[in-house]
Structure 1
């Protein structure tokens, strides 16, 4: 079963997918891209924030060049370098759907932390997005908010605790389900899925199942995943 099926998403219907939240966004984005490419379709990988470029994928900063590149490559990264050597977005992601089958967007940053609550300017989800994946790393459970979270003051405020609070599975579910957390900017027209990543062992998988059940009570589908060392960041997929 591929990652699209695991998340109960369909690349024919969910042609523009945005990824937000904490741990697992890049790995999942490239896993989604690989599966679509293997099915014979084309993919544009881009961002509305900042990402590191995949070293093995063709890259352009010119949306007008996409059509030509996609004639030769099934997966193309679209973005322009900033002063820090990261990629920022280029053009309107909705326009890219005219030249490709699927657009995948990293729409949030977490500075490699497994859980976050967004700032006022985050995430940047295009209004035409068909599906949003809110990610969290299960390694955050059992750790203090201030030690493990990105924007810990936001997470603490959302949960009504101090930053010394030890995160529980219920806390992770609350952050992912909240309109001030993982669900921020997700319109009713967008499918919303949660990715519970880093289920590397039985205790973490059990935590993931507890979070999964809590999200299901709120009508939110979630998938429990993990990536091997070589799969992380999608480097081995292309």
Structure 2
């Protein structure tokens, strides 16, 4: 059941970090991910179910603590009608935008009003500035779950943090309703497109070097992000997935969503 507009307006963006079998409320996504304000992190985001939303949230949080941040892509992002979205800018234009807005989203124009990967020279310059860089490194065409094709994801070796995002709404839906790269997902999970997604399916994807962890650079911190856990029941689903991920050896899991004041079972 979809939430009413009144319900959405009465909720706020929340996040939790999983540890000791429970979800612990964090004051920000920045805190939940264990980021250091003084660290020039390069954060690549892959998967489905809210990559761009995650990037927006991180960019806004960096700006709120007074840090300049660049967001980019190694695949494609939608160009938005905001002055800090720049198409084919010079390095000076990026710097000017950062001074004015704190954040700048950069790319090369491609079809459909989107931005593709910026020129290598500009990318290298931005990385040399030692400021946080956020990168959408995967595409899922708005599906909440995917398995990467051979050429995916596109993760730069300078990545210090890799976030693998899944939408919690996949649980209980059929494969064909929620999966991008459906045929690959059928083969990997050993299921047909009419079968439902389970907790175990998400865990199998998230813990695999051929799926969620594919291309993760040595030394990068790998975090699974379970997104859209807006309702108490969805946070309970997320908690069960967290516990299974822990058993599969995944140490860092963050849950995000929109919430009211009521805590879910197992939350502190």
Q: TM-score, normalised by structure 1?
A: 0.90
Post-superposition Cα deviations, 1:18-75, rounded to whole Å, max 9, x if no partner, equal: 1100111111101101111111111111111111123224232124232233232210
Say yes or no: does 1:49 pair with 2:75: yes
Of 80, 88, 97, 2:116 maps to: 88
Give the superposed CA RMSD. 1.7
SS in 2 for 1:51: strand
Task: Give how far 1:154 is off.
Answer: 1.6
Task: Give how far 1:97 is off.
Answer: 2.2
Aligned partner of 1:66 in structure 2 is 94
Say yes or no: does 1:111 pair with 2:141: yes
Post-superposition Cα deviations, 1:183-206, rounded to whole Å, max 9, x if no partner, equal: 111023111101101112122111
Task: Give how far 1:161 is off.
Answer: 2.0
- Find the structure with the greater CA-based Rg: 2
Equivalenced residues, count: 228
Task: Give how far 1:91 is off.
Answer: 2.5
Of 121, 146, 158, 2:176 maps to: 146
| Unaligned residue ranges in structure 2 (runs of 5+) | 1-26, 260-268
Distance 2:133 2:253 in 1: 21
Say yes or no: does 1:223 pair with 2:260: no
SS in 2 for 1:72: helix
Aligned partner of 1:34 in structure 2 is 60
SS in 2 for 1:225: strand
| Unaligned residue ranges in structure 1 (runs of 5+) | 229-238
Aligned partner of 2:198 in structure 1 is 168
Aligned partner of 1:137 in structure 2 is 167
Contact 1:133–1:193, Cα closer than 8 Å, also in 2: yes
Say yes or no: does 1:5 pair with 2:36: no
* Structure 1 pair 128–63 and aligned structure 2 pair: CA distance change class (3 A): farther
Distance 1:110 1:211 in 2: 21
Distance 2:166 2:209 in 1: 15
SS in 2 for 1:226: strand
